[in-house]
Chain A
Amino acid sequence: MEVKVVQNILKVNEKLADENRKLFAAKDVFVIDVMASPGAGKTSTILATVDSLKDDVNIAVIEGDIASKVDAEKIQEHGVEAVQINTGGACHLDGNMIQNALQVLDLDAIDLLIVENVGNLVCPAEFDLGQSMKLVISSVPEGDDKPLKYPVIFTQADALILNKVDMLEATDFSETAFEEGVRRLNPRAPIFKISATKGDGVEAWTEWLRERVDAASK
C-alpha cells in the first residue's frame, strides 16, 4: 500500500523559524543572519557595524561557533550585549538554537539583532532562523570564484559584502569577475565593498542597514 506523505524534511526547523519570525515582528526587531566562510571577516564586519550604529540603534549579537566564546567576548568589549552559542560540532545554526539564545535576551530593548552563523558556505544556507535578511560576506583573499563554487548561498543573499578590499592590490582578485559571478545568481542584492578593519566603505553599508532597521521599528 502506498501512503502519500509529502512532508518537508526540515519542517521542525521551519516551524521554529516561523515562531522566531513572529516574535521578532511583534517586538519590532530587525534580524540579520550573517553567513560567510571562516576568516572572511564576519566578526570584524559585525564590530564595524556595531561601532557605526550603536549610538543610535540598540544592538545585540548572537555568536554561533562550534566551540569557544572568543567572539562574544570581543563583541561585548564594544559595549553591546552578546550571546555565544556553541554548536558542539554542528556546521550551522538552526531555529531551535536561536530560540534558546533568545531566552537570555530582552527583545523589547533591541532594535537590531545580528546573528553570526557558523563559518561555512554550504549548510547555513539551508536552515531558516526566522531572520529579516541574509547577509553573505565574501573576502578578497578567498578569490573571486566563490560565487561559482558555492552558488546556493549567493542565490539567497539579500545583501552582499566584499570585505578586505584594502588587500585588492596584493592579489589577482578581479572585482568584475566577482560581480559577474554574483549577478548571474542574484541580480538584486546590493554589493558593499568594505574593509571592516580599516573602515573603507563601512558607512554605505551601515546607512543602508539603518534604513531597514528604522523601517522595521515603524
Chain B
Amino acid sequence: MHEMSVTQNVMEIVLQQAKEAGATRVKSVKLRFGTLTSIVPDCVAFYFEQMTPGTLAEGAKLDVEMVPLRLKCGQCGEEFEGQDELDVTCPKCGNPFTETLSGREMEVASIDVDT
C-alpha cells in the first residue's frame, strides 16, 4: 500500500502535537488501524524508524492497535465481528445488509511525551 505517505502524515501529526504540548521528547506513539484499511503495521514501523532520527520523536516506541471489523445487522440489530474474508452476513439471522461500526480507522490515538 502507501505506508510511506501514511507514515509521513503520522510524523506531521506527532511533531505538531508534541510542539503544542511543549514536549522535549516523544517517548511513544499510539496508532489505531482498522483491519479494513489494508495497512501493514510492520511497514509503517519501518518507515517510522527511518523518519524519526533528528526529530523530537527519535527513539520513540510505536504501538499499533488493530481495530477489528465490527458490523451491525440492518435487520435484527445483532452486532458482530466480521469473519474471515470479510463476510458481512449476519451470523444470527443471515441477513446480508449490515453497517460497519468499526474497522476503517486510521488515526494517531495518543502520544507520550517528556516536557
**Using a CB–CB distance below 8 Å, which chain A residues touch chain B?**
1-12, 90-92, 122-123, 125-126, 148, 151-152, 155, 183-188
Please state if A1 and B38 are interface contacts (CB–CB under 8 Å).
no
Contact with A along B78-111 (1 / 0, CB 8 A): 0000000111110000001100000000111111
Please give me the residue from chain B that is nearest to A147 by CB atom: B85
Please state if A91 and B88 are interface contacts (CB–CB under 8 Å).
no
Q: Interface SS of chain A: helix, strand, loop or mixed?
A: mixed
Task: Name A6's contact: one of B18, B108, B114 (CB within 8 Å).
Answer: B108
Please state if A187 and B97 are interface contacts (CB–CB under 8 Å).
yes
Q: Which residues of B contact A4 (CB under 8 A)?
A: 109-110
Task: Name B36's contact: one of A90, A152, A186 (CB within 8 Å).
Answer: A152
B58 within 8 A of A: no
**Complex formed: what's the CA distance from A12 to B11 in Å?**
13
Please give me the residue from chain B that is nearest to A155 by CB atom: B86
Please give me the residue from chain A that is nearest to B33 by CB atom: A9
Q: Which residues of B contact A148 (CB under 8 A)?
A: 85
Q: List B residues 39-68 near A (Cβ within 8 Å).
A: none
Closest A-B pairs by Cβ, 7 of them: A187-B96, A151-B86, A5-B108, A9-B106, A9-B9, A184-B87, A3-B21
Interface residues on B, range: 20 to 34
Task: Name B88's contact: one of A7, A11, A187 (CB within 8 Å).
Answer: A187
Q: A9-B107, A91-B2, A123-B2 are in contact. Are A2 and B112 (CB under 8 A)?
A: yes
**Complex formed: what's the CA distance from A75 to B31 in Å?**
42
Please state if A3 and B6 are interface contacts (CB–CB under 8 Å).
no
**Complex formed: what's the CA distance from A143 to B18 in Å?**
49
**Complex formed: what's the CA distance from A119 to B95 in Å?**
33
Please state if A126 and B37 are interface contacts (CB–CB under 8 Å).
yes
Q: A155-B88, A185-B86, A188-B97 are in contact. Are A3 and B2 (CB under 8 A)?
A: no
